Amino acid sequence: VYKLLLATILPAALIWLVGIYATSVSQRSLRDAIEATSATRAREVMDEIDWIVQTRATTWQAYLRAELVQRTLKLSNDELELSDDPSAVIAQRDQDWQSTPSGEQPELMKELVSNDLARDLSGWLTQLEEAAGYPVFGEVFLTNRFGGNVAQTSRTSDYRQDDEEWWQLSKQNGVYISDVEFDESAQIYSVDICIAALDEDGNFLGVMKTVMNTRELLAIMDKRDAERLSASRLILFNREQKVIHESHTNAAPLSDRKSFLDEIDFSRDQTEWTSTLIDDTSGDELLCAFAASRGHGDFSGMGWVVMDARKSSDAFAPIVRLRNQIVFIAILSTVLVALAGWLLARSITAPIRTLLDGTTRIGQGELDHRIVVAGHDEITKLGNAFNEMAANLQKMILDLTSKEEELTEQYQLLASQSEALASQEEILSAQVERDKLFDAVRDAVGRLNAASEHILSTTSKQAKGSSEQAVAVSQTATTMDEVAQIADQNSARANNMVVEAKQAEEAAQTGREAMETSIESIASVKTQAETTAESILSLAERAEKIGAITATVNDIAEQTNVLALNAAVEASRAGEHGRGFAVVAAEVKALAQQSKDATREVRQILTEIVEATGSAVMSTEKETKAVIEAGNVAVSTGGFVNRLLATISSSARNAKQISEAAKEQATGVIQLNKAIKNIETVAAENAIALQQIEQSAMDLNDLSTELAKLTAN
């Protein structure tokens, strides 16, 4: 019983251990997947921040090459170069600038705020603010190569800038981007983008400083938070590891969190890494992924770091719930399997004990004992056979006892008669009685011999049947071993199918996410292509307007040519007095001819531009159509991937059900195999007992044969 119970409990315990191990492996796999996803999310945020900063810097670099900027800077530099000591002039202006009260504006300050370049800069800032809905730049100003202000959108704290570190680094490196800080003038947290202005020959003209509002950068994190699919948070650190922005909190910018990052090495060469930290405020364990700024192209990056963090308890909550469910189910299964095994063991061993006890008592001579069994199985049939055998043996022994008593009585009678008879007649009479007695003995011996032969035949048949039953049970046990092995193989294959289905489901999920990203990218490309087409059409319209203007200029040139011709005729009529006027008329005619030739060239160039823009518009339309087709294909592919993911998920669930059914089947086969082996043991013992009974029957038959021989003589 205990072996059978142990055999039923061990598979349940094995399933328990396998479930715990599977959840541990799943937790490690989930940790790796979460870290990879968090690292990707942090990298996307950091790259987008770098891209925006680089785009702003590139835009201002292009602006510095504008003719208005170049001309204004050159005029300012030429003005100071004409003075004896430019540095002294700048120093005096800076002193006057700083001594001016905040509510007043001297002429120089008014000039720098209201000149053409300053108005153009203000217009740029206004357009950006209207588009974004908030001030994108706090202030913008330019200095000449001596460090003095040339144009500005608002009053700066001082006039002279060449003693500032940002000015010197911009002159030296071409571009300097500061860390985030609070700008007192604009009252915003900002990043300074400082760019050196160069002419077409590469000569240094001055430096532009733009104070960029960090709101545009932090909006990226807010957008990612709105799109997040899990309870994670993003934290942006500056170069000194101070928090620039943290989601889900209202903490002030540039708060010190060094205690939170004591174990993190920010000086490593890696741009992405993961770590496990303890939150210094709540004490929760966090799964963290870091992405360091790596820039784009010539831009080396901001030196900032984005951290994506999420609580371990939230991330692994499904695994913990699954583990608890597995433990509960395993305990319940163990109890149920143990109970079923105990009941099965009792149903098998109880009849066997009864049968064994009955055969032992019959073998010890208690032929009146009967084995009480119920049911229709082999054990019941075997018990009935033993009862029948015991009944036959009891009947034969009773017959022998009865015959023995008769023989004893007749022998005693014969002895008394032999002693009493003295005469020959008495002897003859005794002889007759003896013959009768021997005839009766021979008859009893004959019947005893027939009964012993019947017992021998019956026991031989039972022994043969018991042997055949033992062989059949042994073959059944062998077959059950093979079935158990096949069940184990099916269970292992079902487990492999579950693992492969899970991997396929994860791959399909990754494909769906990639397809969604492709669809978004294609939509962005479509929008950019449409914007480009509109810009090209606008350029074509302006080119046509310029063509109309050149036509007007050409008409004016022709009219001027005619006027010059008339003037020459009038000068020739005037003679000596009109000679000077004739020279002027000739020059005017020459200028008119040059204007006409120039307008002809301009019109030819404009014609080429119009043709080129038309080709560009056609190409852009084709690209737009291609992008639309690609978007449709991507959407269709996305739908196919979604259907594929649903199919794989269904297959994974079916595979899991098959695996569980295979495990239950293997457990049942093992239990049945144990029971068959127990029956095999009992059958073997019964066969041995029947062989012993058969031998006893043979001995009884031999005894009856010898007795028959004795009576025959």
- DSSP codes joined into one string, 173-219: HSEEEPPPEEETTTTEEEEEEEEEEE-TT--EEEEEEEEEETHHHHH
Measured CA to CA, the distance from residue 590 to residue 602 in angstroms comes to 18
How many domains does the chain fold into? 1
- What is residue 115's predicted lDDT score, i.e. its pLDDT? 94
Q: What tens digit of pLDDT does each residue of 214-227 get? A: 888 888 887 877 76
Q: 3-class SS at 284?
A: coil
Residue 77 lies in a domain: yes
- Length of the chain equals 713
Q: Please answer whether residues 205 and 81 qualify as being in contact, where contact means their C-beta atoms are separated by less than 8 angstroms.
A: no
Q: 3-class SS at 667?
A: helix
β-pair partners for 125: none
Query: How many helices and strands in the chain, by DSSP H and E?
Result: 12, 12
53's CB contacts (< 8 A; 6+ apart) are 177, 191, 193, 212, 217, 299, 302
- What is residue 680's predicted lDDT score, i.e. its pLDDT? 60
- How many other β-carbons are positioned within 10 Å of the β-carbon of residue 209? 24
Closest to 691 measured CA to CA, from 370, 465, 460: 460
Measured CA to CA, the distance from residue 221 to residue 227 in angstroms comes to 10
Residue 286 lies in a domain: no
Residue 301 lies in a domain: no
Measured CA to CA, the distance from residue 712 to residue 230 in angstroms comes to 107
- What is residue 215's predicted lDDT score, i.e. its pLDDT? 86
Domain range spanning residue 114?
A: 65-207
Residue 123 lies in a domain: yes
The H-or-E segment that residue 165 falls in is helix 165-173
**Apex 511 CA angle, 510 and 512, nearest 5:** 90
Measured CA to CA, the distance from residue 674 to residue 667 in angstroms comes to 11
70's CB contacts (< 8 A; 6+ apart) are 64, 197, 199, 205
Residue 644 lies in a domain: no
- What is residue 314's predicted lDDT score, i.e. its pLDDT? 75
Measured CA to CA, the distance from residue 52 to residue 299 in angstroms comes to 11
Residue 396 lies in a domain: no
568's CB contacts (< 8 A; 6+ apart) are 582, 585, 586, 589
Chain centroid offset of residue 305 CA:
24
Q: Which amino acid, 191?
A: V
- Low-confidence stretches of the chain (pLDDT beneath 50): 483, 487
624's CB contacts (< 8 A; 6+ apart) are 526, 529, 530, 533
Q: Please answer whether residues 145 and 70 qualify as being in contact, where contact means their C-beta atoms are separated by less than 8 angstroms.
A: no
Long-range pairs, 100-106, Cβ under 8 A, ≥24: 102/155, 105/155
Full-prediction pTM beyond 0.85?
no
Q: What tens digit of pLDDT does each residue of 115-162 get? A: 999 999 999 999 989 988 888 998 899 999 999 999 999 988 899 999
Q: How many CA atoms lie within 13 A of 439 on its CB side?
A: 6
Torsion of CA 491, 497, 501, 507, to 10 degrees: 130
Residue 71 lies in a domain: yes
Return the CATH number at 112.
3.30.450.20
Q: 3-class SS at 140?
A: strand
Measured CA to CA, the distance from residue 361 to residue 353 in angstroms comes to 12
Residue 426 lies in a domain: no
Q: Please answer whether residues 304 and 45 qualify as being in contact, where contact means their C-beta atoms are separated by less than 8 angstroms.
A: no
Strands (E), 214-279: 232-237, 242-246, 255-256, 272-278
- What is residue 29's predicted lDDT score, i.e. its pLDDT? 82
Chain centroid offset of residue 683 CA:
57
459's CB contacts (< 8 A; 6+ apart) are 389, 690, 693, 694, 697
